[in-house]
């Protein structure tokens, strides 16, 4: 299980290749890649602020809990911080499990967490200026789907 925060761009495919090789008992690998959208020219740069030592520890704690809850063979989270151009990957999550349901649910769950509860702060810059993005009502509802299940 690995969690990386990095300012450098990354290639999701290279991460998926490295994550998938040499697995003989993993039946399912699910990946999510979050890309920065240009919003038809409205966004020229995305900037992600993180709190080193806190952000990575929080993500690691959630990742560990997800690995146990969904019975994962392995998982990988790579998250950019700093300025990100449209079309570049912001986040990559890969989950490996014996069967596909666990891999899908764990990846979906981790993304819901990362989108609404992980300690990042996101600013969009464009021709019209800049604004901080906060989780949408849909993001919060998505994340809360997993709360009721946590005790079951």
Partner 1 sequence: MARVLLFGRLADAAGWRERIIEAASLSALRAALGDLVEGPGIQAAVDKAIVRGDMALTAASEVAFLPPMSGG
Binding site for partner 1 (CB under 8 A): 34, 48-49, 51, 53-54, 57, 79, 90-91, 100, 111, 113-123, 132-135, 139
Nearest to 69 by CA among 43, 105, 26, 44: 105
108 token code pair: 């979906």
Q: Which is nearer to a second copy, 26 or 55 (CB)?
A: 26
Could you tell which of a second copy, partner 1, none binds residue 132, using a CB distance below 5 to 8 A set by kind? Answer: partner 1
* Phi (first) and psi of residue 134, to 5 degrees: -115, 160
Site map 39..68 versus a second copy, x via CB under 8 A: xx----------------------------
Q: Which is nearer to a second copy, 67 or 107 (CB)?
A: 107
Distances (CA, A) of 3 to 97, 121, 149: 17, 18, 24
| 3 state SS of 93 | strand
Which one of the spans 51-59, 60-68, 107-115, 123-131 is the region binding a second copy (CB under 8 A)? 107-115
Distances (CA, A) of 78 to 35, 39, 82: 13, 23, 14
Nearest to 2 by CA among 82, 96, 70: 96
Could you say whether residue 26 binds a second copy (CB under 8 A)? yes
Residue 47: strand pairing partners: 83, 123
Q: Which is nearer to a second copy, 100 or 131 (CB)?
A: 100
CB of 115 to a second copy, least distance (A): 7
Which one of the spans 1-9, 52-60, 61-69, 86-94 is the region binding a second copy (CB under 8 A)? 86-94
């Amino acid at each position: 299980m690995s969690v990386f925060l990095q300012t450098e761009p990354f290639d999701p495919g290279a991460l998926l290749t490295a994550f998938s090789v040499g697995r003989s008992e993993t039946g399912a690998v699910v990946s999510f890649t979050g890309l920065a959208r240009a919003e038809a020219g409205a966004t020229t740069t995305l900037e992600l602020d993180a709190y080193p030592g806190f952000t990575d520890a929080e993500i690691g704690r959630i990742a560990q809990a997800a690995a146990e809850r969904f019975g994962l063979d392995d998982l990988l989270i790579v998250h950019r911080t700093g300025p990100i151009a449209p079309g570049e990957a912001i986040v990559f999550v890969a989950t490996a499990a014996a069967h596909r349901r666990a891999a899908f649910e764990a990846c979906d769950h981790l993304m819901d967490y990362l989108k609404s509860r992980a300690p990042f702060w996101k600013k969009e810059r464009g021709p019209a200026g800049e604004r901080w993005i906060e989780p949408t009502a849909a993001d919060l509802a998505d994340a809360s789907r997993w709360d009721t299940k946590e005790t079951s």
